[in-house]
Every structure is written in C-alpha cells, then in structure tokens.
Amino acid sequence: MKQKLLYCAMLLPILATPLTFAQEHEEHPEEHQEDQQGEQMDHSGHDMSGMGEMDHSGHDMSGTGEMDHSGHDMSGTGEMDHSGHDMSGMYGMDHSLHNAPNQPDHVMDHEVLLTKVTIDQLEAREHEGSALKGNLWFGSDFNKLWLKTEVEREDGETSNSELQALYSRAVAPYWDLKVGVRHDFILEYGDSKNWAAIGFNGLAPYFFEVDSTLFLGEDGDSALRLEAEYELLFTQQWILSPEIEMNFYGQNDRDTHTGSGLSDIEAGLRLRYEFTPQFAPYVGVHYEKKFGNTADFLRDAGESSGETTWVIGLHAWF
C-alpha cells in the first residue's frame, strides 16, 4: 500500500505539468501565437522587408518582391533616368569629352625637360696635339635642342674648330631627325664657313651608334659626314670604344685643303675606366688619313696626309 501511495505521489507532478502549460497558454495567447504563427504577424511598425507580401509603403526596400515604391523611383537599372549623369554602360559610354589622347600625344603632354652636358673626348695627343669633342642638349626624349663642338689642335695651333646648333625630333624608335646650322671658325687654312645641316642619328642593329649629316654651304658647297661608334664592355668599369668618322665633299676647295669625294677618315680606339658613369679617364690610339685631292693639297703645302698618335684623356657627363 505504501508503495502505491509513493507511486501516486511521484506521478502527480508529471500529470500536473500539461495542465500548468495549458493554463499558461490560455493566459498568454499572444505570446504563443507569435511563436507558432510568426509568418502572419502584423509588423506594420517595423520594416521587415525580407518577409513575404507585407506593406512597406513607409519604407523603400526596392530589392524585394511586389512592394509599393511610389515614394522612390527605383525602376530597374536598365531604364533608369540618368539625364544628369552620363553613365550609359561600360561598352557604350560616350567619351567624346574625355577621350584619352593617342599614346605619343599623351606622352608629349607630360614630357620631362632635362639638360645633359657630355664631354666625349677631352684629350692630349702626341706632337703637342689636343682635341675636344662634346655636346649639350636640352629637352625630352622626343624633342631636343643641341649644341655640338669639335676642336683640334696640332703643334700648338688650332687646325679644326666647329660649332653646331641643332634641333632633333624623334621619328622612330631609337632614331632622331635633326636640322640646324654649323659654323666653321677661321682656321689655319682658309676662312670661316656657314652650313645648313640635316641628318639622322640613332642606334643601329647590334647597338652601333650612328650619325649621318648632310651640310649645304653658302656658295652651293656640300659635305657629308658619317660617324659610327660602339661600346664593348669587358666589365662594368672597363669599356673599349672603337669609332670611325668619314667626311665627303662635293667640290674642291684649295683654301681649306679639302677635295671632292672622300676627303678624310678618322678612327680611334679608346679604353676607359669608369670610376663612376659620369667620370671615366681613358687611353687610346687615334688614326687620321687624308685621301684624293685633299691629300694632294696637303702634300703641296708640305703637310702630312696621315698620322697615328697615342692619346690620353677624359670622358665625362653631367
């Protein structure tokens, strides 16, 4: 009997639990209705735009279904009114006001102007000889203004001195067109001369630096100069530089000891050591030979038509 009473006592709390739950459910029907029927609740005071077909007239949530967007015009990106902003598609945009210029013009608009002074050769030669060859340019990769000079002295006297003022324009990769004037100063033989100059200079295949210039004189005289130079790097500091220059004339001129045709060839071989790229002393050999009527004019004047000399000098730029 005691055991039956004990079992009944244990079952009473269990049986009472459903009754208690039902009573609470009757006292708070709204809370249980929210738990069981959340999808049908009235959320007019809250914007829950992710739900079904609720009324969102107070809030524009244009990313959802068939809501009322009368307060905001969000009628699809394809038909939007962009009258104030021209953003008409990446592939069909009108860039007439902002067309990017062609590459050369675009680069020209942003040219960086620089100045460089180069002393190719400042050297002493045998037999009281010396020579200076250098240039200065101002401009950019596409347009430059040049001053070039060459001076040679033999036996303490100036035998050759000239100055060129040129404008160059890039016309192809590694090639420039140049125009300008050349002035020959009063020399040991003859008077000063003025020439108009036009030519090309650039980098030929195998990295040969090439310079060709046609000169036209005041009296119809003409001359052609061809130059080529190459740099052979043994190391980053030791550089061997062979070069050659040829001069042609279209007429004979006894006053300046120049004859028509091939007049002279100058060649050199110089080995320099670059302490820095801007400062490089060198030693080398210089060869010069006159041809044709030029050689005849010099022999008639008691001069040699050719010689080979050792040189020592400096190559620098800044």
Per-residue burial over 70-82, b = 16 or more CB atoms within 10 Å of its CB, e = otherwise = eeeeeeeeeeeee
Identify the residue whose tokens are 């101002």. Answer: 138
Has residue 220 been placed in a domain?
yes
Has residue 50 been placed in a domain?
no
Task: Answer yes or no: is pLDDT of 17 > 80.
Answer: no
Per-residue pLDDT tens digits for 166-199:
999 999 999 999 999 999 997 666 678 999 999 9
Containing 314, the helix (H) or strand (E) segment is strand 306-317
Percent of the chain with pLDDT over 70: 64
Has residue 19 been placed in a domain?
no
Has residue 125 been placed in a domain?
yes
Task: Answer yes or no: is pLDDT of 24 > 70.
Answer: no
What is the C-alpha separation between 168 and 112, in angstroms, rounded?
16
Structure pTM? 0.65
Domain containing 271 equals: 114-317
Write down the pLDDT at residue 40: 44
Q: What is the count of structural domains for the chain?
A: 1
Has residue 119 been placed in a domain?
yes
CB neighbourhood size of 264 (10 A):
21
Write down the pLDDT at residue 26: 43
Per-residue pLDDT tens digits for 203-258:
999 999 999 999 999 888 999 999 999 999 999 999 999 999 999 999 998 888 89
Task: Answer yes or no: is pLDDT of 130 > 50.
Answer: yes
CATH number of the domain that residue 245 is part of: 2.40.160.40
Has residue 29 been placed in a domain?
no
Has residue 121 been placed in a domain?
yes
Has residue 95 been placed in a domain?
no
More confident residue, 52 or 125: 125
More confident residue, 184 or 24: 184
